[in-house]
Amino acid sequence: VDGQHSGNDEMVDIIKGLTAEPGTAVAEEYAICKANFRDLVELTMNGEDYTITDFDSEKFLSDFKKNLLDYAEYFPHDLPAAVDSEQLKFIGKEKDREHFRANMDAYLSQFTPSSPPIDQAKVDANFDIEQYEIFKKKFGIQTTAVISGDDSKANIDYFNPPEIVSNMSKQPETVEEDLATGGYPFEFSVKKPNPLITPSLKGGPLMGAIIEVTPELSTACEAVAAAKTLREKAEALQFLTIGQRNAHAAASSIVSLARKAGAPIRVVGGSLPGLDSIQEPGKGDVQTALEAMALGEDGSTRLNYFIQVYRASDFPVYEAYAVHRAKEPLSGPRQIVVTK
């Protein structure tokens, strides 16, 4: 979506909605980020690879235990809540010191409790992968209980993960089969990789590129093409407006990817130096486009398009404005309706 239109976020989102998966629409400013744009095109062509090649349950468990011990050290059991100990330092008038800690304890009681003492030996001995999996599922159970208000399976008013781990390391738990098998979509398992839930769509090889000529792009390309040396080309770009430079950079990204793939590049709506232009549409092309825009019995069309209504009955100037909009660059596939 070129710079004249990409400033409207809602417009870009609408165009994305009109584009069938795995395709998408990006603003001109995104195409300027050549690496990001290249990666997006490659993902669209080849799909995303969800294969997990370095799944390591023991690594997950060891990282968790390390984080647990670090957490317990930072928020020791003698703190009234899991907050920075700096908050318990008294800074105030001497007359307020007597009741400071009592007031702070009451205030901090609303926050997550601090960590109880963690016995590392028991954690290493008893808290294995099975226990870690059971522990993780408790978060789904707790979240469901809090959202639904059902306290039959969990205490919706109290949940302290370090305390749960401490208790499980002292007395390992077992879980019912229905809970062990999951029940929470997209839940990450530490025991084995989850099977693919979302298919990876592939767009196939890059077949070509079509560039719509805008006034800014035309001016930029002509200025660069007229320069002979690399220095002169750089100077030509320097004296262009920001919009013209952006248009040139975005088009260059598209051309680069197409040429790398050995795909043809076609220009519509004008001409650009060094690129092949598509001839002006004839009556047959217009008729084909109109037929593609025709509404079927189910309300669908072969070509998605916009309908713009200009109420000339309220503002007569809209009639002339509708004609102006129809002739502007990148007018796009749409039907313009003028009411009188």
Among 25, 33, 32, 31, CA closest to 9: 25
Low-confidence ranges of the chain (pLDDT < 50): 178, 180-182
Give CA angle at 331 (327, 334), nearest 5°. Answer: 110
Q: Is the peptide bond before 22 cis (omega within 30 degrees of 0)?
A: yes
The predicted pLDDT at position 176 comes to: 60
CA torsion, ordered 29, 31, 37, 42, to nearest 10 deg = 140
CA distances from 244 to 182, 221, 293 (A): 54, 9, 32
DSSP letter at 196 equals P
Give SS3 for 75. coil
Q: Which amino acid is at 138?
A: K
The whole model's pTM is what? 0.55
Give SS3 for 49. coil
Number of residues that this document lists for the chain: 340
CA distances from 96 to 79, 100, 323, 332, 334 (A): 20, 6, 76, 71, 72
**DSSP H or E run through 306:** strand 306-311
Interatomic CA distance for residues 109 and 28, integer angstroms: 51
CB atoms within 10 A of CB 263: 13
The predicted pLDDT at position 333 comes to: 66
The predicted pLDDT at position 330 comes to: 62
| Tokens of residue 240, six digits | 């262009």
Interatomic CA distance for residues 66 and 134, integer angstroms: 18
Interatomic CA distance for residues 255 and 266, integer angstroms: 10
CB-side exposure of 192: number of CA atoms within 13 Å?
A: 6
206 within 8 A of 254, measured Cβ to Cβ: no
168 within 8 A of 135, measured Cβ to Cβ: yes
The predicted pLDDT at position 132 comes to: 92
| Tokens of residue 139, six digits | 């978060």
* Residues 6 or more apart in contact with residue 178 via CB below 8 angstroms: none
Interatomic CA distance for residues 184 and 142, integer angstroms: 12
Question: Which segments of the chain does DSSP mark as H helices, in order?
Answer: 9-18, 28-32, 34-46, 57-74, 100-108, 120-126, 129-148, 161-170, 177-180, 215-226, 230-238, 242-260, 283-292, 317-327
